[in-house]
Amino acid sequence: MSAADRAAALVSWWVATYTRQLPGEVGERRRAEIASDLWEHRSAGRQDRTAAILVAWSILWRMAAGMPADLRWRSGQLAAAHRAPPPERERWLLQALARNWWLVLAGLVGMTEVVVGAAIVLGAATATGTGPTERAGPTVGGGILILGAGLIVLLGILWRRRSPNAGMVLIVAGAIPALLLSPWSFPLAVVVVAGLAFVLTVRAGGRDARGRSAPQLAMRLGSHATALSVLYLVLAGRVPVWPGLALLGLLAVGYGLRRRDRPT
């Protein structure tokens, strides 16, 4: 192996290094082009009867002088790859999530109420050993109320397909008890506020139950209310800082998804 061949091998290693993790076709093209260049360079050196050490020096100089450009190019390619639009299926999922994220929250509220309500009822029953007693009566009653509220929320979600207006009323009504469960459930007021805004907008002459104006207003009001309530809870020390910040982060992601979904 001549000095020129060793220099070419070193360049190939460098190219393989800086094209690592780049999109397949991009990296492959650069590696193939440099491989061709290296071959032509050595071939030209042989034809011109240039000493192998001088060809090697020229190859190494070209590598070293081009390193900053190589790194900038790599950085640009990585950035372009991250900016690339997601695949069709992923984009569809993101758009669906951006449109329906508050419905997901409503589902969470409903399921939380069902689980908490059921736990209260079962807990009361276990505590007495034989079932609800006179002493456990109010607790069981509260549990049943919360459980029923959760079922109403879930029913409202299903009902929206048939009658969006009626579905929203059910969701709003069913979500109200969630506000009383704990400080943690307070941010979930987004569902209530969003649903309320939706109903009011439709009643006030918003386009129609499936129209865009009502849900958009509902989402805007709901997300603002949630962000403010989470901020309030964090600042007031009602919830620990880090989980509160995590919630705010989730809301920021929601905002980002909505902006991404917005037509340009």
Partner 1 sequence: MRRKPGTLLPLEFDILEAGIGLERFHGFQLAKALADQSGPRRLTAHGTLYKALQRLEDGGLLSSQWEDPEVAAAEGRPRRRLYQVTGLGEQALSASRASPGVTRPRPRLGPA
Q: Examine residue 66 and tell whether it contacts partner 1 (CB under 8 A).
A: yes
Nearer to partner 1, 32 or 158 (CB): 32
Q: Single out the residue of 2, 6, 50, 73 in contact with partner 1 (rule: CB under 8 A).
A: 73
Torsion angle of the four alpha carbons 226, 229, 231, 234, in this order, in degrees rounded to the nearest 10: -130
Q: Examine residue 33 and tell whether it contacts partner 1 (CB under 8 A).
A: yes
CB 45 within 8 A of CB 55: yes
Q: Examine residue 16 and tell whether it contacts partner 1 (CB under 8 A).
A: no
Give the position of tokens 């060793």: 6
Q: Single out the residue of 32, 51, 53, 96 in contact with partner 1 (rule: CB under 8 A).
A: 32
Tokens of 212: 């865009």
Q: Single out the residue of 41, 113, 192, 234 in contact with partner 1 (rule: CB under 8 A).
A: 41
Stretch that binds partner 1, among 25-33, 94-102, 168-176, 199-207 (CB under 8 A): 25-33
CB 91 to partner 1: min, Å: 24
Q: CA distances (Å), 153 to each of 102, 150, 163, 216, 239, in order?
A: 13, 5, 14, 20, 25
State whether the Cα torsion 255-256-258-263 is positive or negative: positive
Residues lying near partner 1 in the complex (CB under 8 A): 11, 15, 29-30, 32-37, 39-41, 43-44, 58, 61-73
